[in-house]
Structure 1
Amino acid sequence: MLFKPTVVQLRGVDNKLYTLAGEGNDPAAVLLQPGAKGLDAPAFTIHADEYPSIDGGFLRFARAGIREVFLPLKIIAPNRPELMKLKREFIASLNPTKGMVQLLFTEYWQPSPKEDLFEAEPTKQLTCFYVSGMEGGEGSDSDGVHWSTYGLVLRAPDPYFHALFRTHASFIRYDVLRPFIPQAGANPFLSADGTQPGEGMALSSEPEWITTQVLSSIGDAAVQPRWTIRGPLNSTFSLRLHGDDGEAVKTLRMKQSVSLTADQVLTIETARGELDVFRQAADGTGPRTPMWNHFDIASDMWALQPGDNQVSLQIDQPAGLTPEEQEAWLANNQPVVALSYLPAYLGI
């Protein structure tokens, strides 16, 4: 059976990129050896209580702790000066006093066993800091290759692997009206790979503003979204997560009226260590106005769970409006709500 090796890379605190495993290597290289550990599911701490008078017990909660990764490495070079140069550079790239390193993993799969073609899965990243293992031992082979071996130990405060690029969604719906280029045949006019029929292109209607959306979170761990709300808006509002029965189970609420023009955006960042609520021009220029005083601290900056999440936007409408006033109010309170997140995975 044909296969394509997994590409494993390490990006140091100085932004230098080392390819530890993959196709082809330089004469001087840092190579990953067999025996890597800590790259699949993280260790979980389980808290459970026993029932006092009946059999069994119940689970209170489970949490993934700091992940520890072990990488057996071998640095090789055709001569000792090159070995020392690469070794010093690699050690400097791991310096935990200067920041974190990133481990990057790219797996390949074969769409058809009958063809010698492989497609890359999205690269996953784990952010770590160096702990130990670069003490090492040196040697040389009879053919003149010099080497040093190490057992690199890294720890990841965030135990989950993340995608490199954010996934986006919005509370806007587009309805397809008609094919971009009408044609008599059943196959559309574009092809993705030049051999199979494509899906063609189509013209869409004007975007439709909606207040309820089913958001599909890829990956297999909960993720904290970044919300952006673009005006017009002049009201309090809530972002709600609903359960299977349709009832709201978690609510993120702005308790004071938020005023946004069509060229302003309110950003609510819910990621751990990056919490922020601010208003800024839609083009990202100009100062950021803190909006924490509008946020209801008793509400929840909830996470998206793996799979489908039913989410709704509720804008609080003043009572007692006449039909004309209600029409004007609705026209001035139709914000464009969007979110993005980094998909999270339990392992590579």
Structure 2
Amino acid sequence: MPIPAQYDYSTDGGNPTGETYTPVRWARSFVTWTGANGDTIPLTGDIACAVEPAGIGITWGPAGLGMPSYDLKADQLPNMDGGLFRSVRATTRDITIPIAIRGVDRESATHLHNRLLRALNPHSGPGWITITEGDGIARHLECYYVSGAEGAETQDNAGFRHIKYPLVLRAMDPYWYSNAERQYDWHLSQGAAKPFLSNSDYPGFFPLRISSTAFSPDGLVDVFNDSSVEAWPVWSCVGAATGLSLENITTGQAFRMQDEYTIPATRTMVVDTRPGVKTVVQDGANLWPQMKADSALWSLQPGKNRLKVTAGGVNLNTLIRLHYVPRYLSYVGG
């Protein structure tokens, strides 16, 4: 892995005379697999048995942890060189994690192996690969097990107390997700937007970064999406609120309910814009018929997004909450 460095420039008469690099102390990356059965298994254990007598560890050669692969569409130009670009999309991502399982005896090695196999079972659903870098920033990727654990009883790959093989996992969504959720609130208040961290241990698992703003005078707030790509918010709207409008001024898109539709007091409407979900529900009831025809379940673009939330008939109990999870190109952010 590359060594992060601090740059120290010295000058003589305004001209650089050289630069020095001071290596930064950097803890080892920590990797876990969380299966659909809820079992979280460390994959960066002490397979050399220098500290612990047994464990599962990653060996040399992980692949597919960086940028996703892309599918480019283009039209070939008649009687001319090259083509005309049309579109690009990220494809599903395959990653390879070579692992070694080592036990103090045959029984402990078999126990570790069977525990991992149960957590990998794709019939139970997808699992999460989570990588925490030395700076404490964690990213996770939802994957299905594809192959690798079939095993090979060769001298190098298996023994009485150890087994090695490359796990191949496939992510349908190729982007890495932050373990820190972002959250913004709108309510009946004149308070200015003041971001703060609700957890001093940020980034832990889903701490909240919150900014509060008012329905009046404008209901405007700048949301900074620190993702590498667009992020898809989930809205929780607690009534009373009539003719709710959620607008992204930066992109020019808006989600609007019918002018006469009122979210009842103490009831919650959930607008989920995430791909593969795309729902507008209240207590299980579908509210698509109550949306205006020109509504869009819009995303947050990378960087600053100016949002506007408006509604009539609000009171002190009314709360409109936006929350989303940033997405990244690689496990180190990207």
Q: Which moved more, 1:210-219 or 1:301-310?
A: 210-219
Specify which of 213, 237, 249 is matched with residue 229 of structure 1: 237
Is residue 2:262 matched to residue 1:253? no
Q: TM-score, normalised by structure 1?
A: 0.72
Residue 138 of structure 1 and its aligned partner are, at CA, apart by 4.6
> Which residue among 141, 148, 169 is the counterpart of 1:154?
169
Question: Residue 131 of structure 2 aligns to a residue in which SS?
Answer: strand
1:64, distance to aligned residue in structure 2 (A): 0.8
The amino acid of 2:242's aligned partner reads: N
Larger Rg: 1
Opposite residue 228 of structure 1, the aligned amino acid is: S
Letter in 2 for 1:3: W
Instruction: Look up the match of 1:241.
Output: 248
Q: Which amino acid in structure 2 is aligned with residue 239 of structure 1? A: L
How far apart are residue 78 of structure 1 and its match?
1.6
- Deviation at 1:274? 2.5
The match for 1:339 is 322
Pair 1:131 & 2:146 matched: yes
Matching of residues 12-27 of structure 1 within 5 Å: 12-21=35-44, 26-27=52-53
Task: Please give the alpha-carbon distance, in whole angstroms, between the structure 2 residues aligned to 1:312 and 1:52.
Answer: 47
Rounded to whole Å, the distance in 1 between the matches of 2:76 and 2:167 is: 40
Q: Find the residue that maps to 1:108 and give its secondary structure.
A: coil
Moved over 4 A (4+): 22-25, 50-58, 138-141, 205-208, 329-335
Structure 2 match to 1:186: none
Secondary structure at the residue paired with 2:43?
Answer: strand
Aligned length in residues: 285
Look up the SS of the partner of 2:260 in the other structure.
Answer: strand
In structure 1, distance between residues paired with 2:51 and 2:299: 41
1:294 aligns with 2:290: yes
CA deviation after TM superposition for structure 1 residue 42, in Å: 0.4
Asked if the contact 2:45–2:55 (Cα under 8 Å) also holds between the matched residues in 1, the reply is: no
3-12 vs 330-339, which moves further = 330-339
Unaligned stretches of 5+ residues in structure 1: 110-119, 177-191, 194-204, 280-286, 316-328
For residues 89-168 of structure 1, what are the structure 2 equivalents within 5 Å?
89-109=115-135, 120-121=136-137, 123-138=138-153, 146-168=161-183
Separation in 2, partners of 1:241, 1:223: 13
Q: Give CA-to-partner distance per residue, 1:182-225, whole Å, 9 cap, x none.
A: xxxxxxxxxx89xxxxxxxxxxx996634222211122121110
Does the aligned pair in 2 maintain the 1:131–1:154 contact within 8 Å?
yes
Alpha-carbon distance in 1 for matches of 2:182, 2:221 = 15
Structure 1 counterpart of 2:16:
none
Q: Which shifted more, 69-78 or 45-54? A: 45-54
The match for 1:263 among 260, 266, 274 is 266
SS of corresponding position for 1:148? strand
Note the C-alpha offset of 1:140. 7.9
User: C-alpha displacement at 1:149, in angstroms?
Assistant: 0.8
RMSD value, Cα: 3.3
- Quote the Cα distance in structure 2 between the aligned partners of 1:154 and 1:145: 26
Assess if the C-alpha contact under 8 Å between 2:68 and 2:91 holds in 1: yes
| Number of the residue aligned with 1:214 | 222
3-state DSSP class of the match of 1:158? coil
Q: CA-to-partner distance for each residue in 1:235-289, whole Å, 9 max, x for gaps?
A: 3x4322224xxxx63222323632124423321111122322122xxxxxxx444
Q: Is the 8 A contact 1:44 1:64 kept in 2?
A: yes
Corresponding residue number in structure 1 for 2:308: 312
Q: 1:77 maps to what in 2?
A: 103
TM-score (ref. length: structure 2): 0.74
Structure 2: which 5+ runs fail to align? 1-22, 194-199, 202-211
* Aligned partner of residue 109 in structure 2, secondary structure: helix
Q: 3-state DSSP class of the match of 2:162? A: strand
Instruction: Work out the CA distance in 1 between the residues paired with 2:149 and 2:111.
Output: 15
Q: CA, structure 1 residues 213+175, in 2 after alignment: closer, same or farther (shift >3 Å)?
A: closer
- Preserved CA contact (<8 Å) 1:77 1:145: no
Identical positions, percent: 27
